[in-house]
Amino acid sequence: MAIIDDPSAYFQTKIYTGNGSARALTFDGNSDLQPDWVWIKKRAGGSASGHVVTDVVRGVNKQLFTNEVEAEESYTSVLTAFGSDGFSISTAGLCNTNTNTYVAWNWKTGTSFTNDASGTGIGSIDSAGSFNNDSGFSIVSFTGTGSAGTIKHGLSSAPSMIIQKSRTSALNWKVYHKSLGATKYLNLDETGAAATASTIWNDTEPTSSVYSVGTGNTNSSSVNYIAYCFAEKQGYSKFGSYIGNGNADGTFAYTGFKPAFVMVKASSASSYDWVMLDNKRDPFNVADESLYANLNSAAQTSNNTDFLSNGFKLRSTAAGNNGSGTTYIFMAFAENPFVAGNFNVATAR
């Protein structure tokens, strides 16, 4: 398996301060990244503001909010363009109030696809989207049938994590994670523990060509859906689990790279948020500026975590990511692989 030497070609975090005027934002560094999925959250300033998600498949003026169950909304005052090395924003408080601070997480797909399931024999439900097999990320759009079925995800290997949301109905965000398996699911917009239901992923693990949906709210009849699918790639992405120890000398989670972004959720216990950390808001250890995918609240200083050369280590007793005996799932993306294809070795920061 080829190692991605430059993760910033596929994922980058952008932090910025709003100025109240429409403008283009570009990424740092040398890698040109045209983002196809942009996730923006206000960090501080003004009133509370939700997590706004925009992607190239739905269109630049179509927004979903990870902290809400509401259907897709249309705003022309948030994201206005996906740029060749960044993105453009307008003046909405969700993304650009003067003096407020923001963070944007950005992923690249790049290649469009459509699938007529009856014509290709791949899956049973028609789908369309955009994918990138190098980074193992795809965005998939489909219309639910109300009957258990399979959907082409566009990737060449089975997704390790799927985040799916209804576009046209007020339904929870559903999450599949390989550490939980297809009999269980989490809701991205809620704090609950992993739940069991055959109607979500049809108790069927994803394959290298399709993933499965049941008869529940991942596949309601005539409802439009969007799904973000991630296949694990060596040196770039990792989807795993760990058990917290409740100690400031906390659990170590191996990723095989220096993390740029980590999102963690307690899966064996309820009432815990989806903790989001990155290397731009906290360029030095410990990383502690936490945002929560299920909340519209401003950034908080908690969930202390060290980003190391080959993983991350918990440095807090906070139950949100290191409760004693609690199992957590995580998704992580790289700043640098531990050992790149050019044999450069990542160092801890």
SS3 208: coil
Residues 226, 250: one domain?
no
Domain that holds residue 269: 237-337
Asked if residue 2 belongs to a domain, the reply is no
Position 326 pLDDT exceeds 50: yes
Largest CA distance in the chain: 56
Instruction: Report pLDDT digits (tens) over 26-61.
Output: 998 767 899 999 999 999 998 889 999 999 999 999
Which of 48, 82, 107 is at the close of a domain? 107
CATH number at residue 124: 2.60.40
The pLDDT assigned to 3 comes to 76
Position 341 pLDDT exceeds 60: no
Residues 103, 124: one domain?
no
CB of 55 within 8 A of CB of 128? no
Number of domains, the chain: 3
Model pTM?
0.96
Residues 132, 221: one domain?
yes
Residues 194, 192: Cα–Cα separation, whole Å: 7
Residues 125, 226: one domain?
yes
Residues 285, 189: one domain?
no
Which of 78, 107, 136 is at the close of a domain? 107
Instruction: Report pLDDT digits (tens) over 87-101.
Output: 999 999 999 999 999
Going by pLDDT thresholds of 50, 70 and 90, the confidence category of residue 116 is very high
Residues 242, 221: one domain?
no
86-89: strand order across its sheet: 23-26, 86-89, 79-83
Asked if residue 83 belongs to a domain, the reply is yes
Q: What is the DSSP letter of 118?
A: H
Which of 107, 129, 154 is at the close of a domain? 107
Residue 31 vs residue 181, higher pLDDT = 181
The pLDDT assigned to 346 comes to 58
Asked if residue 344 belongs to a domain, the reply is no
Residues 289, 257: one domain?
yes
The pLDDT assigned to 343 comes to 47
pLDDT averaged over the chain? 95
